[in-house]
Structure 1
Amino acid sequence: MSAHAGGIELQDDLNNKVVLPQPAQRIVSLAPSVTELLFSAGAGSKVVAAVDYSDFPEEAKTLPRVGGYTQLDIERILALRPDVVIGWKSGNHPAALEQLRKLNIPVYITETRFLDQIPTTLERFGLMAGTQAQAQQEAEHFRNTLHRLKTQYQHKTPVRVFYQVWNQPLITINRQNLINQVIEACGGQNVFAELNTIAPRIDVEAVLKANPDAIVASGMGIERPEWLDEWLKWPAIKAVKNHQLHFIPPGHIQRQTVRVLLGTERLCQQLEQTRHTMDGQP
């Protein structure tokens, strides 16, 4: 990626070339995580609209809306005259993104599935918005903090983890997921890492068979979900027997943003607690 007298040229996460004649002053974000990363990269003042659920930081709540990430208001986007639209491969409809391209609007597509992509995305957003200094600072802080946590926890005694996204249906994650990388950074082992889909549905019997050392849930809000305590009905599970039912707010672990460092630090501390309960277990 580069910025020069002739403009800005870089590749998005799908290796599409994106060219801007100058730093973008009007940016439309098509994913809540994109909105949050733009603010982290120092480009919040250049975001003229976002999709529903763009709720962090606080300033993002007042941005004009262009629909939900799965159903975009193309006319509204055009009326905003954006210099660039930043989309999300897994969330936005491909036809809508292609329609924007055909209307000669530069489209940058993100697909951030792994921890090391977050600082790179920050740097790219900073380049597009002309806020490289703040973006670089945030990116380096992210890399340094993640390195510190990995150095401290990654090679400790492995903790077998069941990560519960939801209860009905019972949903977990496999290895092709940012959350799996967080678990591994903390020295954990995702008991369902080998399943085929990114967010597979499972049943209680599968959890009983896996017999995890820790159960970690997120839910939908900042409060611990009541359904996490449903596992108390199964005292034979190590995590239940040793009182290792943990909660992390979804915004700290399920969004591909700088806040995932908060979730990583919290999970590492939780798994360290679990290790102390594992001493002497067969």
Structure 2
Amino acid sequence: MIPATKQRLRAFAFATALGLAALGAQALEVSDERGVKVALPRPPQRIVTLLPSLTEGVCALGACSRIVGVDSYSNSPESVRGLPQLGGGLDPNVEAIVALRPDAVLLAKSSRVTQRLEALGLKVLVLEPKSHADVRRVLDKLDQVLGTGEAPAVWRTIDASVSAAAESVPARARGLKVYFEVNSVPYAAGESSFIGETLARLGAKNIVPAALGPFPKLNPEYVVRADPDLIMVGTRSAQGLEQRPGWGAIRAVREGRICRFDAAQSDILVRPGPRMDEAARLMARCLAEKGG
């Protein structure tokens, strides 16, 4: 009996060692956008996302089922709409987040709760795409965290679809001067924004140069002087656009070259994430239909 007992103990010890080795193989360390190294014992299975583009990124990589809570603006894909909503990304409900017992919380640089969540012992990763290159980089980083191995294929599909959208724009619409209004203040999408990058790939000329920043607040007279050929704007911001002082003289307004995007389309357009190809198709269709 004693030799048999020793044999069982050795077998148990060996199995335990294998289990620990497997856990160790899954452990990872990820540097987020603060340069902070976050150690995770294994790919997280309970994730809170507090930025729509991060929610969509996790889902695009096939890990939507791991999300247990989202910010109030995450509404795509459809499956996340039934999840607990934790407030805005800037000031979410910390108590509600803690109650969900997440393995990882994904949020933007601008969030004000990062340090508080970390002080409560939660693993926090700060990730925020702002350009085409950022979208690819964040997908790669999420892939590293999730362990899905899907990021290269997802990015190839996005990039190829944006290129296809560009090829669909007719020659007559290339080189048009475009004004993309983000909201009616007005804030615009400039050349250096991810929206501006998409417009450039589609062959359009943005009236807002990179020197003004990605999303500058403009004097309305600036738009009048720039006299865009085409205006892209969300329906939420477009009310009364034609009645703004001096805007009746803008070519796009005179000739009815205004694309008004509904709320769902606007969500796609203003989020730098895996639906960037859908945004490109929306803008390409606008250029084709209103471009002369």
CA distance in 2, matches of 1:12, 1:154: 41
Q: How does 1:138-217 map to 2 (within 5 A)?
A: 138-150=154-166, 157-167=174-184, 169-194=185-210, 196-217=212-233
Match of 1:24 in 2: 44
2:142 aligned with 1:122: no
Match of 2:32 in 1: 12
- Say if 1:43 and 1:126, in contact at 8 Å, map to a contact too: no
* Deviation for aligned residue 1:191: 0.9
Q: Which among 67, 72, 78 is matched to residue 52 of structure 1?
A: 72
CA distance in 1, matches of 2:164, 2:24: 35
**One-letter code of the match for 2:41?**
P
- Say if 1:30 and 1:51, in contact at 8 Å, map to a contact too: yes
Q: Secondary structure at the match of 1:68?
A: coil
CA distance in 2, matches of 1:4, 1:217: 51
Q: Which among 225, 232, 243 is matched to residue 256 of structure 2?
A: 243
2:289 aligned with 1:269: no
Q: CA RMSD in A?
A: 2.8
Q: Percent identity?
A: 26
**One-letter code of the match for 1:48?**
V
Structure 2 alignment gaps of length 5 or more: 1-22
Larger radius of gyration: 2
Normalising by structure 1, report the TM-score. Answer: 0.82
Judging by fraction of residues, say which structure has more helix: 2
- Say if 1:175 and 1:193, in contact at 8 Å, map to a contact too: yes
